Structure 1
Amino acid sequence: MTDIIQLLPDHVANQIAAGEVVQRPASVVKELLENAIDANSSEIKLILKEAGKTLVQVIDNGKGMSTTDARLSFERHATSKIRSAEDLFQLNTKGFRGEALASIAAIAHVELKTKQENQELGSQIIIEGSNVKSQDVAVTPKGTSVAVKNLFFNIPARRNFLKSNTVELRHVVDEFHRVALAHPGIAFSMYHNGSELFNLPLSNYRQRVVNIFGSKTNEKLVPVEEETEVLKVSGFVGKPEYSKKTKSEQFFFVNNRFIKSPYLNHAINAAFEGLLRDGYHPTYFLNLTVDPKTIDINIHPTKTEIKFDDEHTLYAILRSAVKHSLGQFNVAPILDFESNTNLNTPYNFKDKEGATPVIEIDRSFNPFADEVGQKQPQQRSYTKPPTQDWESLYVGLESKSTKSQGDFKEMTFESESKDQSIFKSEDIALEKTTYQLRQKFIVSTIKSGMLIIDQNRAHQRILYENLLKQLTSKEAITQQLLFPLQLNFSNTDVEMLSQMQNDLEHAGFVFSEFSADEITVTGVPVGVPESEVTIVLEQLISDVENDVPDQNFSASDLLAKSMAKSLAIKTGQSLNVEEQEHLLNSLFACKEPAVSPSHKTTFITLGVEDIEKKFM
């Protein structure tokens, strides 16, 4: 029997590793930015073309590499971060697996330029699909420049799975945010298709957050500081009134490394318990510092998940620290058992001296005089009425009685209406044809039995078809605002909305200005309340990030779905009979009443036979 097990060639092994490390352009951005940070850079520049599909280039001013190191860096499991297995539990750097550059070079065209500070000339290496095309001496400034071109050029199936440029750019920006927030001591800049998206100078942590998410973010932040033997917490949480319906502004950093932890996220939600509206999520930017020996980072290829030795202690400390900050800055109500509010001095009496009380004595007061008077009550005189001539009391009584009886004969009495029977006959038509169940479902009778409608999904279908018709015909009616709305968004959100400006205007929105982190709205579609404009646009941004499958779906369809989701009647909203019937009739006037825009069932029918089976 022949042997069937063989070693894989290096280029095949690299492509398999690339499937774990490189999933989209954002993965390349993350690996290259982390390498630039490990090189002790003070300035890092990120350049993109077509959301990274055509070009991802990272330029830093770090310590650079020698000619030998530059060539060796593209080999599998080649790293300068660790020497032995014990080093995995003392990690203070980013990339340590030694697979990033080798994986990237296996599926793209890579050009590397690097030079050390004490060298006059640097090195240039060009690799295409793990094949080294050239290695030459080059004139280049101090540091390293890595250009990754034509991602997935040799794996077309993987390239076809990439989303639209808008979605891919959003993923790249998310990775850029995570790295830039973790290192405020490094200056970052980002360019896309020749335009500058971010220019983040050297700053402290609060300034870095404000520079990324807009100037209005400064007033939303509440500082959090706590230091124990186990954990040190620093950073900021957002005030409850500025919470969002998306989780786009939730950042955990452990030892300057971004992580995802549902368990610790639950601790933050527990601290905000009772302060947030339903469906809203808190904002936080928290740095956690722990002993590297107590965590295991090497459990996920992207290193975004970390295993802690004692999660329960971290949970309790984090929850208490956040709750204490919310109470300390008067964001949440607190009880202070050590202070007595009765002893607080009013502001009006702060600088006044205490006055000596004056005692007044009534010297004419005699307490015994009242008691004597009470013992001797006044005597009342009573005179007995005379009893003679008592017959005169009945004189004329008979005539008055006769007259009054005549008046009573002419009097009419209002008769009370007879009570109707509590059991209505079958021939009496019921006035109420629909009923609302638990403020979520609308129940109506049909010939075959019973109809149950989900009011939220049904209204989404109605709004979706109406909005799609307006967007297609471009005949939406706009309601002009008396006072323009100035809404604050991050730079990338403003860029995303500006790209969809034409579709938004066809839906009825009117914009007068797009600035770096602010937009001005002067008109809204009819039926959209002024207070709902921010919610509609935030929902639209979230849908663009997550829900667009590819470029074949039109922006009009996405906008109609997003606005319908935001403006639809919510579960828990009470409807009167007229509103219930209008919703029922409008639903069955739609082209596809059976499903919502997200392809979920809007109604079910329950036949008489099904009901009778329940009584068997």
Structure 2
Amino acid sequence: MVNVIQLLPDSIANQIAAGEVVQRPASVVKELLENSVDAKAKSVQVIIREAGRNLIQIVDDGVGMTETDARMSFERHATSKIRSSDDLFRIRTMGFRGEALASIAAVSQIEMRTRRADDELGTLIRIEGSDIRAQEAVSCLPGTNLLIKNLFFNVPARRNFLKSNSVEMRHILDEFQRVALANPEVAFSLFHNDQEIYNLPAGKLSRRIIDMFGKSYREQLNYCDEQTPYVTVRGYIGKPESAKKARNEQFFFVNNRYIKHNYLHHAVVGAYEGTLPEGSHPFYVLFIDIDPSHIDINIHPTKTEIKFDDERSVYAIMMAAVRKAVGVYNLAPSLDFDSDVNFLSGGRAGFDKASSVESKADLPRPITPSWATGGSTAPTTQPKTERTALRSESLDKAAGKSFDVPKKPSVNNWQALFESVAEKPESAPAEQVPGDWLGPAKPAPVSSEPVEAEPVTLGSRANQIQDDAPVVVEDENIVQVQNRYLLATIKSGVMLIDQRRAYERILYDQFHSALTKRNGVSQQLLFPKTVTLTPVDFQLALDLQDDLTNLGFQFDELGQSTFIIRGVPTLTTGENEEELFANLLAQLRADTGRLKLDRVEALARSLARRSAARHTARLSLTERKALVNQLFASSNPSYTPTGEPVTTVLTLDKIAGLFR
């Protein structure tokens, strides 16, 4: 019987190992940057051509290697860090010039020049596909200079699976950012196709964050520090007003190694409780220093996920550290104990009447129902009883700021709030219908014949919808609950509609149609806006320029990492153009998986989600009907593009069961 099991040649074994270590050009950049940091380099230069397909060059001024070490670094299982099995659980460095170099050399053409500061000559080694082509002494600068050419030249299948240059370059920028943030004491620079992307001098962590993300972060950073015998947490957190919709500027480092940890992210967000808008994510760069014996870094091939032996303690310390920073820097909203919150029931002592209107433009506007004035609908100047004042105040809280009037509110002459509605010259007052219970009050009728009033409507995107869609509800009266949900009666019971998700479905269909048909309508800006992006988002915008133009965006490149915006889609008018553009790119970058599958789909979903987030306003009855009509005229009224339910039905049986 012939034996069938044999040892693999080193070249094939190295290619198999490279499949785990070298997934794309960004993997090479990550490994070589970590090697340079471990070599105690003070300055590291990265040169990229064609997003790493043709050239990746890493130049550092580290300690360099001897001729023997340079040759051994390309052998399999070669390391300068591990001497015994116990060392596997005490690793504090990023990597070693062994396993990674062997894998990279198996799938590329690599050239290395290295010299120690004490040596007169350095060493040159050339390798192609694990085959050593040259080894000789050369004159070179102290440190190490690595050139990786034609990545995957001998594995064409892997090369064909690489994405576009812009996508691959974004991955390289992500890895570069993580290593640069973890090592602010090292100077880093990055060049792509002879264009400088980053030039980061050595300095403090705060300086590194500002140099990397922009000067706007200067006023948003707050130091976080908590030291315990078990773990130390340090770093910077951002103020709540700087939070963004996309989760792409959150960095955790454990013993200076970048990790992803949803459990710890939950702790940070929990510390911001009550200060962040719904769906927003804070900025943070947090370092965790812990004894390596308390963590396991080998649960993931790329070591971006780790496991703590006591995750609950780390969670509690992380939340306490961030919460302490929030309190120390007064990020949380504070109560003003000098103001009288009961001003609606009779004013407050010492109130300055001269500045009551100009300085208090945002005061709540009181609305008095007919039952609170003894049955009369006309305003009264009689002082209220304590019970009536409490009932009126509770209604004010429920109403909020949903009733807009053209006059500024005043606590001394609140009857003037109703003049614009009750004193219309040539039209009858608006009729109050049961579904629009916050409409204007109805005065005593002057005639027994019914009069159709012109409804008071508020500005909303739903006013632009078509009326030719079929109405699916039985009753035309649609009730709005807390500016978030709509209730409509159907044959089988009651239908609940999530207002924000309904807008998301409608806007998605419109954006997807504009991208597919390339007929997006643009609203020109009277004053063009300038937006400065991170290098990662700048590359993404260049890659998506045609698709963004089809949506309705009109923008031109204005220097490094800067665009000038001349037009935005008509469906997004009224928003902050700079924030809309920057947040859309950030959300797309965070959604890279879907972007790779279908760019049009990802772009339409991201912009619809971004635009629908603000559609939680009070709607008139006409707007509610129009919103429901357009929802059920959409491609899938039951679910959002991401699969979240838009509607749910309470059948008569379910309703009856609630009373049993």
**SS at structure 2 position matched to 1:14:** helix
**Alpha-carbon distance in structure 2 between the residues aligned to 1:549 and 1:312:** 33
Shift of 1:592: 7.5
**SS at structure 1 position matched to 2:622:** helix
Shift of 1:223: 0.8
Instruction: Return 190-199 or 257-266, whichever deviates more.
Output: 257-266
Partners of 2:520 and 2:550 within 8 A in 1: yes
**Alpha-carbon distance in structure 2 between the residues aligned to 1:447 and 1:157:** 58
**Alpha-carbon distance in structure 1 between the residues aligned to 2:641 and 2:294:** 47
TM-score, length basis structure 2: 0.69
**Alpha-carbon distance in structure 2 between the residues aligned to 1:606 and 1:4:** 66
**SS at structure 2 position matched to 1:189:** strand
Match of 1:478?
A: 523
Q: Which runs of 5+ in 1 are unaligned?
A: 336-413, 418-428, 612-616
Describe the superposition over 1:216-242 as per-residue Cα deviations: whole angstroms up to 9, x where unpaired: 111110111232322332211000111
**Alpha-carbon distance in structure 2 between the residues aligned to 1:100 and 1:223:** 36
Matches within 5 A, 1:544-563: 544=589, 546-547=591-592, 558-563=602-607
Match of 2:584?
A: 539
**Alpha-carbon distance in structure 2 between the residues aligned to 1:607 and 1:233:** 52
Cα 1:20–1:481 change in 2 (3 A) is same
Cα 1:51–1:598 change in 2 (3 A) is farther
Cα 1:440–1:257 change in 2 (3 A) is same
**SS at structure 2 position matched to 1:174:** helix
**SS at structure 2 position matched to 1:76:** coil
Match of 1:273?
A: 273
Match of 2:148?
A: 148
Match of 1:164?
A: 164
Shift of 1:212: 0.4
**Alpha-carbon distance in structure 1 between the residues aligned to 2:225 and 2:240:** 18
Match of 1:198?
A: 198
Match of 2:507?
A: 463
Describe the superposition over 1:569-614 as per-residue Cα deviations: whole angstroms up to 9, x where unpaired: 6786665543344344445656787876557787799999999xxx
Cα 1:323–1:587 change in 2 (3 A) is closer
Cα 1:575–1:2 change in 2 (3 A) is farther
Matches within 5 A, 1:493-572: 493-501=537-545, 503-511=547-555, 514-516=558-560, 519-533=563-577, 534-544=579-589, 546-547=591-592, 558-568=602-612
Cα 1:545–1:272 change in 2 (3 A) is closer
Higher relative contact order (CA 8 A, sep 6+): 1
Match of 1:106?
A: 106
Cα 1:71–1:214 change in 2 (3 A) is same
Matches within 5 A, 1:253-272: 253-272=253-272
**Alpha-carbon distance in structure 2 between the residues aligned to 1:311 and 1:507:** 45
Cα 1:586–1:200 change in 2 (3 A) is same
**SS at structure 2 position matched to 1:321:** helix
Match of 2:134?
A: 134
Which structure would you say has the larger Rg? 1
Partners of 1:458 and 1:593 within 8 A in 2: yes
Matches within 5 A, 1:269-348: 269-333=269-333
Cα 1:192–1:6 change in 2 (3 A) is same
Describe the superposition over 1:330-371 as per-residue Cα deviations: whole angstroms up to 9, x where unpaired: 112579xxxxxxxxxxxxxxxxxxxxxxxxxxxxxxxxxxxx
Shift of 1:27: 1.2
Shift of 1:86: 2.1
**SS at structure 2 position matched to 1:226:** strand
**Alpha-carbon distance in structure 2 between the residues aligned to 1:276 and 1:269:** 9
**Alpha-carbon distance in structure 1 between the residues aligned to 2:546 and 2:489:** 44
Cα 1:332–1:6 change in 2 (3 A) is same
Q: Which amino acid aligns with 1:542?
A: Q
Aligned residues: 522
**Alpha-carbon distance in structure 2 between the residues aligned to 1:58 and 1:305:** 26
Shift of 1:80: 0.8
Shift of 1:125: 2.0
Q: Which runs of 5+ in 2 are unaligned?
A: 336-444, 449-472, 656-660
Cα 1:70–1:523 change in 2 (3 A) is same
Cα 1:578–1:156 change in 2 (3 A) is farther
**SS at structure 2 position matched to 1:275:** coil
Shift of 1:92: 3.1
Partners of 2:537 and 2:586 within 8 A in 1: yes
**Alpha-carbon distance in structure 2 between the residues aligned to 1:549 and 1:153:** 28
Shift of 1:519: 4.3
Q: Percent identity?
A: 46
Q: Which amino acid aligns with 1:68?
A: T
Partners of 1:481 and 1:524 within 8 A in 2: no
Matches within 5 A, 1:193-272: 193-272=193-272
Partners of 2:505 and 2:641 within 8 A in 1: yes
Matches within 5 A, 1:177-192: 177-192=177-192
**Alpha-carbon distance in structure 1 between the residues aligned to 2:272 and 2:653:** 49
**Alpha-carbon distance in structure 1 between the residues aligned to 2:330 and 2:597:** 50
Instruction: Return 301-310 or 179-188, whichever deviates more.
Output: 301-310
Shift of 1:505: 4.4
Shift of 1:550: 7.2
Instruction: Return 457-466 or 173-182, whichever deviates more.
Output: 457-466
Cα 1:607–1:230 change in 2 (3 A) is closer
Instruction: Return 601-610 or 45-54, whichever deviates more.
Output: 601-610
Describe the superposition over 1:38-64 as per-residue Cα deviations: whole angstroms up to 9, x where unpaired: 111111111112222332221111121
Partners of 1:536 and 1:566 within 8 A in 2: no
**Alpha-carbon distance in structure 2 between the residues aligned to 1:505 and 1:304:** 36
**SS at structure 1 position matched to 2:37:** helix
TM-score, length basis structure 1: 0.74
**SS at structure 2 position matched to 1:531:** coil
Cα 1:516–1:449 change in 2 (3 A) is same
**Alpha-carbon distance in structure 2 between the residues aligned to 1:214 and 1:57:** 26
**Alpha-carbon distance in structure 2 between the residues aligned to 1:59 and 1:570:** 48
